Amino acid sequence: MADHETMSDLHKEMTSWRRHLHQNPEFGFEEVQTAAFVAEKLRSFGIEEVAEGVGGTGVVATLRAGEGNRAISFRADMDALRIEEAGESSYRSQTPGVMHACGHDGHTTMLLGAAKTLAETRDFNGVVHLIFQPAEEWGKGMIAMLDDGLLDRFPHEEAYGLHNWPGLPVGHFETRTGGFMGAEDNFEIRVQGVGGHASRPHEINDAIVAGSAIVMNLQTIVSRQVDPSQLAVVSVTEFLSDGTRNAIAGGVRILGDCRSFDPAVSKRIEEVMRRVALGVGAAHGCSIEVDYSREFVPVVNHAALTGHAVQAAQMVAAPGNVNSEAAKIGGSEDFARLLAHVPGNFIMMGNGDSAALHNPSYDFNDDVLPLGVEYFATLARQRLPVDQK
């Protein structure tokens, strides 16, 4: 760990980086300036192996020390959200309609800080890949990096990620073994009936009535078709028709979102949803089309490696500030795609009493920057000890 004076200087430097990134947010797969900034910083630390354009706008740096061949990876996300910032800080977003409302500017900064620290000390024995991922919010960035040969070009045996968490006190960490964050599935149900004049309902097949019946019957999926011990959520979020005030709709689109932690539950939700939609549609004389997609898979933490992540967090946090049995989180995270191929851990770090994630008033807490650096650096030294052969 760097001494107090060095970490204090790095903290000031990281704060300037983070606020620069906050002022210049870029949406998923548009992180051209962000990626260039990251690559420039990495090279300025003396890191020679810096690959750009991985998965579009991703960056991967490789640090080597000693003679060890074991490799691990740390990942940070770089993209922002299409949200208009409400804050009035001196470093407010300069891009209209786009802001870092999830703290990816802080995640990128902490991994840059860890890169600088580890590049200076080289007090580990092996290989550390530093993955700066695009388009996490889309749930497409990690897939793009994997499709671009991430695992073949930068092979590693363990993967670790970190996310800030509003409401969790500064200096605290939370994680759990097994399913930690949920899968996100999206669906669209298209109902096609026969529209017509509002005064002649007997001549039409009302898509709104059929669609409404489908929405109501979807509520029985969780309550009657999924094991009560399993977490599942089915939410209709949009109901759109082609009708007007004096015309009964002939077509309806029903869109929504499903959450679960078990692929078997996701499969069950889709099966029952199709059966319900087709059955209700037939009862109302309407044709039905169902599109069901899996945008995010669940974050599943490896048991042994979660133990190592907890140990590293305990080494940098005050006693009692690391919860290894955190509650499951219904939200989703694209890091899950990497964990589906490489065992590892995803951990939450307190952002203090801040606005919620994806809120226009959210801001990353710069006070936690050194803690993230120390966590990653400690994990590198722990998993790649200098005395290993």
User: Catalytic residues, which ones?
Assistant: 79, 136
Closest CA to 111 of 132, 93, 90, 83: 132
Closest CA to 19 of 9, 27, 11: 11
HSE, CB side, 13 Å, CA atoms: give it for residue 306: 22
Helix or strand (DSSP H, E) at 72: strand 71-77
Non-local (6+) Cβ contacts of 103 within 8 A are 163, 164, 351, 357, 362, 364
Whole-angstrom distance, CA of residue 144 vs CA of residue 157: 20
Whole-angstrom distance, CA of residue 109 vs CA of residue 16: 9
CA 263 to each of CA 119, 252, 267, 269, 273: distance values in angstroms, whole numbers, following the listed order: 40, 29, 6, 10, 15
Whole-angstrom distance, CA of residue 210 vs CA of residue 254: 11
Q: Which amino acid is at 320?
A: G
- As to burial, measured by CB atoms within 10 angstroms (0-12 exposed, 13-18 middle, 19+ buried), residue 108 is buried
Residue 291, classed as helix, strand or coil, is strand
Q: Which residue has the tokens 């998993």?
A: 383
Closest CA to 59 of 41, 82, 81, 80: 41
The string over 134-145, giving b where at least 16 C-beta atoms fall within 10 Å of a residue's C-beta and e elsewhere, is bbbbbbbbbbbb
Identify whether the C-beta of residue 261 lies closer than 8 Å to the C-beta of residue 230: yes
CB atoms within 10 A of CB 119: 19
